[in-house]
Structure 1
Amino acid sequence: MLSSKEIRQMWLDFFKSKGHLVVESKSLIPQNDPSLLWINSGVATLKDYFSGKKVPPAKRITNSQKSIRTNDIENVGVTARHHTFFEMLGNFSIGDYFKKEAIAFGAEFVFDVLKLPKERIYITYYEEDIDTYNYWIENGVDASHLIKGTRDTNFWDVGQGPCGPDTEIFFDRGEKYDKRGLELLINDIENDRFIEIWNIVFSQFNNDGENNYTELATKNIDTGAGLERITSILQDAPTNFDTDLFLPIIREVEKMTKYHYDINNYFTRDPQQTKINTYFKVIADHIRASVNAINDGVNPSNVGRGYIIRRLIRRSYRAGLSLGIESKSFLYTLVQVVKDSLIYDIDVEEVAKVIRNEEELFAKTIKDGEKLLEAELEKNGTVDVKVAFKMFDTYGFPIELTAEILAEKGITIDMNEFNKFLKEHQERSRGNVEAGMQKVINSLAKIPGKVSEFIGYDFTESKSNILYLLDDEEEISKNSDPEAISYVILDKTPFYATSGGQNHDHGYMLQDGNKIDVIDVFKDKYWNHVHVVKGIINKKAPVECFVDKAKRINFARGHSATHIMFHALRKTYPHEIIQQLGSNITPEHFTFDFGLDHRPTKEEIKKIEHTMRDYIAMQAKRNYIVTSIKKAQEMGAYMTIEESEYHDANAVRVVEFEGITKDLCGGTHVDNSHDIQDFKIVGVDSKGTGVYRLRVVISFELVEKYLLEEISEKQKLLDTLIKNNQQFKPDYKYEYPTEIPAGTFAKEGLLEQYDIYEENIREDYKKFLKEKQNESVDVSKYQPQSINNIKVYIVDDLDTNLLRKAAVELREQHPDSLIVGLSQTKPGNFFFMVASKELDSSKYFKEITGKHNGKGGGNAIVCQGSLNEEIALNELVVQIKKELNA
């Protein structure tokens, strides 16, 4: 059975072998694209390449793009394949290959790589597209498995712009999912039997907006294949939730509740279990979306993307309450398992902190809601449905809690009436945030062209006039709510908008004594800087703008360092293989993605750091040169994926560090390489298929902070390892220096020493463990108890390793007996094993672990795991007697 990670990698490897450039997944937050709230498909990050706005890094591209869609949250957990967060596998041709090659690639991947049987694959195509029909026949698909589609089902068209027919690949899961046959595909009926796994769009025509179609001179291929769907098929899972993308999260949640998730309920359809399963699914889906969105920079809030993440977290929290999870916060503990199930670089500690804060805030909301409910009861003796709905809608107070509290007082809520309110509300507000953002986009579209000037290269402060002031619906004259969000375009601005890998500036505006916080800055289609602000604001009065200078200088250091490091990489590795595949620059650190045929070694990382510090010491002057793309190319300037932001080929900006590098870039930079101060690569992450991410900190302050934190963590690790060895040898000691030297190089040297100490202590552990494992076990002292004519041996006075050895020996000597092992080698950590030659030990094991919050498994002969509750040996014996006598 293939894992989801293997499937994703197979896709990328396959298309890489067909000449495609592997582009790593981009942030869920659209960059320079105000038309989207979220990245919602694989092609969404490539739109500018297809439109011609940017020069693509290659004509053939493949990716696995993380995506979010939230217009139908209520269906998550109810259907088999509805998600907020998902991954879209894609292969794209930008003016290169077309139908013949795309279909040949599709057939080869489906049949030869995934090895799906041809008799289970059905394909739809646009009825007028005879070429597609013939190409599938040429690639071995039987005509009986090709289904004609109509313009409604197999023609991709969004009005004005490129469009064309598509072909869709379906997998037949068989009659157990639906006894109906091909009429499901022919009539485009929603079902769980024929699962669409891949859609290939042939961008062939141009629609002038009046439905007049002309052939495109340059034709493109745009595809999308659902990773979750393909995984569910290859893992023979009834729903997407029953795969290794979701089950590890669900199993982690199971540890917190008495309820269990039942995969087979898809077929048994037990109503109560269906409810329970839905709660698990909601948590698993929503925590995936929340973790990835927060990791990409979206914090829970009451506006925009933040509102959606707040809604997902609170919906998950309510699902946890329904499962009987009473902890004030539990979702934050799932961040690690989410990271483990995916391939993305997730800051577990930081994301968990954000989620925990949101959970605790919601827990307080619930507490406050209970007070409001009590006040309503005291006032009126009952609670009107309208009040219950307002508590649900306005305060996020779960209706289930309202019903529970009232039931204790003998009062019932008319749920039919409540559901009527809810349905009306959902119809009004479905996609409300998206609709609100769309209204802003529509308002921005009325702006005639370039109206604002960015002056942030030279200034971090300005006095500016407001040209446009929008809320989430229309242009307004003022906003008097200090918590209100407004969208502002100024005549001139010092605030940098997110682009070229560099995140937006932080800071604030002042107007008539009111402080207005700048939350975000992005560019509209004309490159006007749109400021998302919070606070009281009046369009008619000027504003004073103040960029956070400390953060700006770190942005500049980071952006300059990415360019100079790119040059250092080209010096370290063969020039022709190094490509920048993305960057993300924040005031605290930056990341840099590039392709390489092997993981960077420690020696190579040191060489890059040494080269960078030499460049910093060069005190290379920075120059800006505005010229044409042609002249920039003649100068030898590099244009990377993240920096290809230019819409005017006659006025591009070259950033030069004298004697080092020239690059096209629109970001902010330091005046001199010496201003970067210091440079340290703090991590190397694999992003899959020969793509690696360097994580870097710059400046004296940030490098010093990182090294001190690393030294502290390493000291804690060494102390823990020493204590582990003392379990074997109580008098074990290992001295290491704890005094922290001054200077970057000295601290780096100390860390290298610590690595050697760690290796030595671990070697000692292996030696002690081997000695322990070689100890013999005398099992003659154990006497059986007779329970229901079954001999039972209880072993409880050994550590885990000796426990296993004793159990094996006893089983060999007494094959007809039941051997039970219980080890408490660490406080609160019990090891439990049941072994039997003739008996089915698994049923006793399941009963006992189930009653003591345990976990584990096995078969009829051997089961092992842990009990997570304190239990005395005599209590365990009583429990075993009860099970054997049952």
Structure 2
Amino acid sequence: MLSSKEIREKWLKYFESKDHLIVETKSLVPINDPSLLWINSGVATLKDYFSGKKIPPKNRLTNSQKSLRTNDIENVGITTRHHTMFEMLGNFSIGDYFKNEAIEYAYDFLLNELKLEKDKLYFTYFEEDEETKRKWMSLGIDESHIIKGTMKTNFWDIGSGPCGPCTEIFFDRGEKFDKRGVELLKNDEENDRFIEIWNLVFSQFNNDGENNYTELAQKNIDTGAGFERLVSIMQNAPTNYDTDLFLPIIKEIEKLTPYKYKTENYFIKDENQEKINIKFKIIADHIRAIVNAINDGVEPSNVSRGYIIRRLIRRSYRAGLQLEIKEKTFLHTLVTIVKNSLPYDINVKKVSKIIKEEELLFSQTIEQGHKLLEKELENKNQEFDFAIAFKLFETYGFPIELTQEILLEKGVKLDISQFEKYKQMHAELSRGLKKVAMKTAINSLAYVKGEISNFIGYNLHEKTAKIVFLANSEKELKITEKDEISYVIFDETVFYATGGGQKHDQGYILQDNRKIQIIEVFKDKFRNNVHVIKGILDKDQPVQLFVDKENRIKLERNHSSTHLLFKSLREQYGMEIKQLGSDNNENRLTFDFPLNKKPTEQEVFEIENRVRNYIKSKTDRYYIETTIKEAEKMNAIMTLEESEYMDPTNVRLVEFKNITVDLCGGTHIKNTHLIENFKIVSTENKGTGIFRIKAITSNELIDKYLDGEIEKETLLLNNLVEKNIKIKKDYQFDLEKTDDKEKQLEIIKNSIEKVRQDYKNIMKEIDNTEIEINVIEEVINNHKYFINFDIPVQNLKNQAVILREKNPNITFILGAKTGSKTLIIVSSKIQDSKMVLDKILNSISGNGGGNKILAQGSINDEKNAIEKIKGIL
């Protein structure tokens, strides 16, 4: 049996031996690709090579790319193969080998590397692609194992652009999974017997958008093999979850819950066990996606990617509640086991901290939701107003399913079907299929044969220009269509193209009083600035170009601040600090650098303060055009990111006198004082010894950020103070006030630490306080009991332990009133405490768990509860 690690290594090593370049897995967050919310396939990170935007490092590539899809999140845990995060194994040819070689590689790898039985493999092909059928047969595949497919099943087509037939490879797991046979493949029916493990796409045609197909001059291969599916087959597992990718996580979850996951239930079909298994699967799947997304820089929030991660955390947390996990936070404890299952580094400390904070927030949300529900239920209607249920979901993040469950317990109906119409507003957040990844392929750029444009926008924002290239994605045009995406190159342009870490300019084109907004600007392989537009342009008429000056200055602030930050880091840690990456847009900047330890708070303060001093120095910016050799003599700082976009015989330097001089093709602020202000908002670990600083500039953005942080931290502080007051009535705390927002935020954060320490001291005081209790035992069925429901809630557990140790021959049943429930603890050395608690819970509605010497839970308030308990003991 091969491990998942061995299977992954076999794939990469095999294709490396076939002259493919191994491409390391990339972040789940797409870089400079607004068309995708997540990297959702193996080809998604390579599409610029296929579209012609970039020259590939090699025409043969292979990877194992982590991917994320949440468009069918509801199926995760229910089906055998749905996942949010998964790995896609791929081998790609960009104008190199084609159909014959791709099929031969697949056959060779499956039979000779993985040792799969040929008779268990089945293949589908496009009905008009007889060449593929003949190729499989030439390799010894029996014709009965080759199934004809249609345009619907075996032709990859996005409506406009590159397309072509595909051949899918299936593995037959046998009759124990489904008595039906090959008709499942012929009828394209979903099943657990024939598992699709590999899809080979032959990109050989171009669709003009009206289903007219022509041969592509450059044919490509794009294949994808499901890693989790291959592992499942190689490990003879009934589902993907019963492999070494998920079982270690599931075993870790089992330590937290009284329930067990049972692999064999796939065949036994016990309904109750299936419900339990689903909850384990949800947590095991989601935590992998959560850990990887957060490690790649996404934090839980109410928008975009952050919304999805928050949803995954809360769905997992709720599954934990259903498994009766008692810990207030538990997901964060699974980060290490997830890390151990992956072939790349995870910052366990950072990721765990973020997950734990979100869990704590959600636990408070659940408490808030319960209170609001109880209040609304006072109306005692037979059907609950769905608008209120959705408000709980949208405003407080309270799961609609949890609302439904609580209402059902109260005998109140909720028409959950209404949720679908509300969900539509969020649906777009989780969309993004593989086909989208290749949708922006621009075949027409093949007609550009060299450098035909010049960027002159360093000091200019407006220009009259001529159009030298105009096309849609397929062909050159004289006039563009009103509603079609088009691509235009001017003889001269003032629009900066995305590059060197800086985002493209915004603005518009004016022609014959038609105003056309710039959607994007990127460089083609000849360094021409290609402008993406939507509107009517006539190639033969001149145009006027207008850069959005306000947006440009925001970009310049952040780009110049990146250089100042780089200088400050070198001052702080020495010249060994290198720029490993940067990303600047109108809202923020990020900077990646190597360091053997995370910067301390004091170091971050010094780095930030130094940049602010550079800003206050009011230093002018100068552009210098020279050669690489001359730049070296000037000790100019050169980064790999910048040098990619420059001709070594004609490079551009940006200089801030007596501060720094750097090789850079970007646009920059005229004087440092125009940056206004600088604030580091986070320092993250991006991998072993690599850190990322995220910062913002301008008085407006920093004021807005500080206001938000003050509001958030104040809310946290108030919650902590309220928590202390609940357990110590005379607890008081006064917050110092100041008009300096930076100082106020510092005061609040220091206060939070103080209040947390106060809480520890209060709890320590409670733990060391023994309440005087007159223990009067009762004998019931030959056992001695002491039952008392008047214990203060904060002393409940501590007193149960103290009394048990002092009176080892007595079973203690102690309770404390809290809201509409009574907390209850059973503590004994002579009986099984959990069995005693279970007896009570079987008679009085509630829930709980524990062990032989201490069990705890809660029961619904009932009249004469103590007498009822005595009667069942």
Place the TM-score, normalised by the shorter chain, in its bin. Answer: 0.5 to 0.7
8 A Cα contact 1:29 1:39, kept in partner: no
Counterpart check, 1:808 vs 2:801 = yes
CA shift for structure 1 position 804: 0.9
1:563 CA drift (Å): 1.2
Does the C-alpha gap of structure 1 residues 667 and 72 become closer, same or farther in structure 2, counting only changes over 3 Å? Answer: farther
Contact 2:615 2:673 in 1 (8 A): yes
Residue of 859, 862, 876 corresponding to 2:851? 859
Q: Deviation digits for residues 435-487 of structure 1, max 9, x if unmatched?
A: 4553541524533244555454334455667744536999896555xxx6725
Aligned 8 A contact 1:81 1:240 in 2? no
Task: Give SS of 1:798's match.
Answer: coil
Moved more, 236-245 or 753-762: 236-245
Matches within 5 A, 1:556-571: 556-571=556-571
Residue 570 of structure 1: how far off its partner (Å): 0.9
Aligned partner letter, 1:488: Y
Q: CA deviation at 1:507?
A: 4.9
Residue 472 of structure 2 corresponds to 470
Does residue 773 of structure 1 match 2:767? yes
Q: Distance in 2 between matches of 1:824 and 1:610?
A: 53
TM-score normalised by the chain length of structure 2? 0.56
Does the 8 A contact of 2:29 with 2:38 survive in 1? no
Change (3 A) 1:632 1:124: farther
Matched, 1:872 2:865: no
Q: Residues 436 and 680 of structure 1: is their aligned pair in 2 closer, same or farther, counting only changes over 3 Å? A: closer
Contact 2:808 2:830 survives alignment (8 Å)? yes
Letter paired with 1:863: A
Q: What SS does structure 1 have at the residue aligned with 2:554?
A: helix
Taking the aligned partners of 1:775 and 1:434, their CA distance within structure 2 comes to 62
The amino acid that maps onto 1:871 is N
Is structure 2 residue 239 aligned with structure 1 residue 238?
no
Taking a change above 3 Å as real, the CA distance of residues 298 and 732 of structure 1, as seen in their structure-2 partners, is closer
Secondary structure of the corresponding residue to residue 797 of structure 1: coil
Measured after TM superposition, the shift of residue 87 of structure 1 is 7.0
- AA aligned to 1:470 is N
The residue number in structure 1 matching 2:458 is 457
1:655-707 CA deviation, whole Å, 9 max, x = no partner? 22222222222332111222222122233223342322223222222233333
Maintained 8 Å contact 2:612/2:678: yes
User: What residue is the counterpart of 2:438 in the other structure?
Assistant: 438
Distance 2:861 2:140 in 1: 70
How many aligned residue pairs are there? Answer: 647
Q: Indicate conservation of the 8 Å contact 2:811/2:831, yes or no.
A: yes
Cα separation, partners in 2 of 1:689 and 1:77, compared to 1, 3 Å: same
- Per the alignment, residue 551 of structure 1 pairs with 551
Q: Secondary structure at the match of 1:551?
A: helix
State how far apart, in whole Å, the 1-side matches of 2:828 and 2:846 are: 20
2:494 is the alignment partner of 1:501: no
SS in 1 for 2:642: coil
Q: Does 1:608 align with 2:602?
A: no
Aligned residue number for residue 590 of structure 2: 591
User: Residue 570 of structure 2 aligns to which amino acid in structure 1?
Assistant: R
Map 1:16-27; keep pairs closer than 5 Å: 26=27
Letter in 1 for 2:774: S
Secondary structure of the 1:624 match is strand
1:553 CA displacement: 1.7
Aligned equivalents of 2:839, 2:636: Cα separation in 1:
69
With 339-348 and 854-863 compared, the bigger mean Cα shift is at 339-348
CA 574–313 in structure 1, closer or farther in 2 if over 3 Å, else same = closer
Partner of 1:206: none
Write the mapping of 1:389-428 to structure 2, written as runs, cut at 5 A: none
- By how many angstroms is 1:732 displaced? 4.0
Cα distance in 2 between the residues matched to 1:89 and 1:598: 34
Shift of 1:616: 1.5
2:147 counterpart residue number: none
Distance, in Å, in 1 between the alignment partners of 2:474 and 2:302 is: 18
CA distance in 1, matches of 2:724, 2:679: 33
Shift of the alpha carbon at 1:281?
5.1
CA-CA distance at 1:580 after TM superposition: 2.3
Q: Tell me which residue corresponds to 2:653.
A: 654
Alpha carbon RMSD of aligned pairs, Å? Answer: 6.7
Distance change in 2, residues 1:759/1:270 (3 Å)? closer
Any stretches of 5+ residues in structure 1 without a counterpart? 5-22, 57-62, 91-121, 128-149, 153-175, 178-189, 197-208, 212-223, 326-332, 367-391, 399-430, 742-746
Q: Kindly tell me: are residues 864 and 517 of structure 1, through their superposed partners in 2, closer, same or farther at Cα, counting changes over 3 Å?
A: farther
**Residue 381 (structure 1) aligns with:** none
Secondary structure in 2 matching 1:553: helix
Secondary structure of the residue aligned to 2:447 is: coil
Distance 1:653 1:802, change over 3 A: same
CA contact (8 A) 1:469 1:539 kept: no
- Contact 1:81/1:239 (8 A) holds in 2: no
- For residues 330 and 514 of structure 2, the distance between their equivalents in structure 1, rounded to whole angstroms, comes to 41
Partner of 1:579: 578
Give 3-state SS (helix, strand or coil) of 1:580's partner: coil
Q: Could you tell me how far apart the structure 2 residues matched to 1:622 and 1:629 are?
A: 20
**CA contact 1:34–1:524 (8 Å) conserved in 2:** no
Mapped to 2, the partners of 1:88 and 1:470 lie a distance apart of 31
**C-alpha spacing 1:659/1:853, structure 2 compared with 1 (3 Å):** farther
Kindly provide the CA deviation profile for residues 296-329 of structure 1, in whole angstroms up to 9, marking residues without a partner as x.
699999xxxx9x999x999999x99x99x9xxxx
Taking the aligned partners of 1:264 and 1:847, their CA distance within structure 2 comes to 30
Q: Distance in 1 between matches of 2:565 and 2:301?
A: 30
- Structure 1 length as normaliser, TM-score? 0.55
Change (3 A) 1:436 1:835: same
Q: Tell me how far apart the structure 2 counterparts of residues 794 and 538 of structure 1 sit (CA, whole Å).
A: 86
- Structure 1 pair 593–556 and aligned structure 2 pair: CA distance change class (3 A): same
- Shift in alpha-carbon separation, 1:503–1:683, aligned structure 2, 3 A: same
Evaluate the alpha carbon distance shift between residue 54 and residue 470 of structure 1 in structure 2; reply closer, same or farther with a 3 A threshold.
closer
Task: Say if 1:622 and 1:656, in contact at 8 Å, map to a contact too.
Answer: yes
**Structure-2 change in CA distance of 1:861 and 1:732 (3 Å):** closer
Q: Distance in 1 between matches of 2:27 and 2:45?
A: 10
Measured after TM superposition, the shift of residue 802 of structure 1 is 1.3
The question of whether the paired residues in 1 share the 8 Å contact of 2:500 and 2:645 is answered with: no
The letter for the 1-side match of 2:666 is: G
Secondary structure of 1:684's match?
Answer: strand
* CA separation of 1:588 and 1:334: change in aligned 2, threshold 3 A: farther
| Gaps in structure 2 of 5+ consecutive residues | 5-23, 58-62, 91-109, 116-138, 142-175, 178-190, 198-216, 220-225, 322-328, 339-345, 366-389, 401-419
Give the conservation status (yes or no) of the 8 Å contact 1:563–1:663.
yes
Q: How far apart in 2 are the matches of 1:247 and 1:485? A: 53
Cα displacement (A) at 1:571: 1.0
- Corresponding residue for residue 797 of structure 1: 790
CA displacement at 1:566 relative to structure 2: 0.9
CA contact (8 A) 2:42 2:65 kept: yes
Cα distance in 2 for partners of 1:39, 1:665 equals 33
Q: Deviations over 1:302-357 (max 9, x none)?
A: xxxx9x999x999999x99x99x9xxxxxxx99999999874778999x999xx99
SS of aligned partner of 2:438: helix
Q: Classify 1:768/1:841 alpha carbon distance in 2 versus 1 (closer, same or farther; 3 Å).
A: closer
Contact preservation (8 Å) 1:655, 1:662 = yes
Shift in alpha-carbon separation, 1:445–1:727, aligned structure 2, 3 A = same
The AA in structure 2 aligned to 1:575 is M
Distance in 2 (alpha carbons) for counterparts of 1:653 and 1:561: 18
Change (3 A) 1:296 1:550: farther
Give yes or no for contact 1:299–1:309 (8 Å, CA) kept in 2.
yes
CA 1:653–1:798 in structure 2 vs 1: closer, same or farther (change >3 Å)? Answer: farther
Amino acid at match of 1:862: L
The residue correspondences of 1:202-221 to structure 2 (distance < 5 A) are none
Q: Distance in 2 between matches of 1:772 and 1:299?
A: 36
One-letter identity of the residue aligned with 2:770 = S
